[in-house]
């Protein structure tokens, strides 16, 4: 991305906000490392004793990565709100999982879904096949999730994307390996709150700059952007609300730039860059807001990174060992 004077808009307060997010994540990992029982059961399964709210926030974050934050807003900005129909599928999928699959896995006290497949079909080969394919898909998607936000960071700070990739990899590895499942869940919850705060700030400011909700809907409609209109249930509410907020954020940003499209003018090259561009263009003068946006993107990346790492450890210990 080619933002003029982008780096100058990322000040001391923004670095402080970003640092607080990183230090907070590390602190949660060290806290659970020092107070944990350090048994395999507690490290991998959190002793099966965590409350619903942090788990629900962690599950919500599972579906919202940095790619989702950039992609949902860019898709609605570029093509309209038809993507909102995916919320129907998400709703049905979570309900089916809560009513059908989750009770089976929970009541059988299994440690992974791969163990259920082996017991259900009596095939160790099937378990190994699913284990291998899921690990590979997570690895490839992790690369995308890690690379996307570092491009945004590179455009607003003086450091390269490679520097951030190494930094984030080290931070996530430390807190997830030290604190185990409890650290992963609680950092997911912490980072989900950062994501929600960042998206809310960006959306509210876009609505204000566009002239209010009525103006957002009017401009979006005029340009054809409105056409096509217990733990798991808590996760469902958070997931649908956050995705809907991202969709509306895309509409609001479109209303802000209606008639002066940054892509057409050559300021950015793809619609996925519209959210970082908007934050720098309209909110760069607000100290701390660019830093909050960067923390929002990085939270989406770190959360998925920690989940993938935790998943790989569980597979190695629980499935491969057995």
> Would you kindly state where each structural domain of the chain is located, as residue ranges?
7-320
Reading phi first (left if > 0) and then psi (alpha if -120 to 50, else beta), residue 50 is in: beta
Helix 161-210 vs helix 12-35: angle between axes, to the nearest 10 degrees?
Answer: 120
CB count within 10 Å of CB 78 equals 16
> Which distant-in-sequence residues (6+ apart) come within 8 Å of 214 by Cβ?
none
User: Is the distance from CB of 156 to CB of 3 less than 8 angstroms?
Assistant: yes
Q: For the domain 7-320, what is the CATH code?
A: 1.20.1730.10
Q: For the whole prediction, is pTM greater than 0.85?
A: no
pLDDT in tens, the chain (322 residues): 444 444 446 678 888 888 888 888 888 888 877 776 566 666 666 666 677 777 777 777 667 777 778 778 888 888 777 777 777 777 888 788 878 887 887 788 777 777 888 888 888 888 888 888 877 877 777 777 777 767 766 766 667 888 888 888 888 888 877 777 787 888 888 888 888 888 888 888 888 888 888 777 777 777 665 544 455 566 666 667 778 888 888 888 988 898 888 888 888 877 878 888 888 888 877 888 888 887 887 887 777 777 766 666 666 666 665 5
Residue 204 in tokens:
């509210």
> Which distant-in-sequence residues (6+ apart) come within 8 Å of 165 by Cβ?
146, 147, 150
User: Is the distance from CB of 192 to CB of 44 less than 8 angstroms?
Assistant: no
């Amino acid at each position: 991305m080619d933002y003029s004077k982008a780096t100058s808009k990322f000040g001391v307060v923004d670095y402080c906000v970003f640092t607080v997010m990183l230090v907070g994540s590390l602190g949660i990992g060290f806290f659970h490392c020092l107070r944990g029982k350090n048994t395999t059961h507690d490290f991998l399964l959190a002793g099966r004793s965590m409350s619903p709210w942090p788990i629900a926030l962690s599950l919500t974050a599972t579906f919202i990565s940095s790619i989702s934050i950039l992609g949902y807003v860019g898709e609605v900005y570029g093509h309209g709100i038809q993507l909102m129909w995916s919320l129907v599928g998400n709703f049905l999928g979570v309900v089916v999982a809560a009513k059908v699959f989750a009770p089976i896995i929970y009541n059988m006290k299994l440690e992974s879904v791969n163990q259920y497949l082996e017991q259900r079909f009596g095939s160790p080969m099937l378990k190994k096949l699913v284990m291998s394919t899921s690990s590979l898909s997570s690895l490839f998607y992790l690369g995308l999730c890690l690379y996307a936000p570092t491009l945004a960071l590179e455009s607003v700070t003086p450091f390269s994307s490679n520097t951030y990739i190494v930094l984030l990899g080290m931070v996530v590895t430390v807190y997830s390996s030290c604190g185990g499942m409890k650290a992963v869940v609680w950092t997911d919850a912490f980072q989900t709150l950062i994501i929600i705060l960042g998206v809310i700030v960006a959306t509210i400011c876009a609505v204000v700059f566009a002239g209010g909700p009525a103006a957002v809907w009017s401009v979006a409609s005029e340009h054809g952007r409105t056409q096509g209109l217990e733990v798991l249930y808590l996760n469902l509410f958070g997931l649908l609300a956050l995705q809907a907020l991202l969709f509306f954020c895309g509409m609001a940003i479109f209303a802000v730039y209606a008639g002066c499209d940054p892509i057409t003018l050559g300021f950015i090259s793809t619609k996925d860059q519209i959210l970082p561009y908007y934050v720098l263009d309209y909110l760069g003068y607000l100290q701390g807001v660019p830093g909050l946006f960067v923390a929002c993107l990085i939270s989406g990346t770190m959360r998925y990174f920690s989940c993938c790492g935790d998943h790989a450890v569980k597979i190695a210990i629980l499935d491969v060992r057995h």
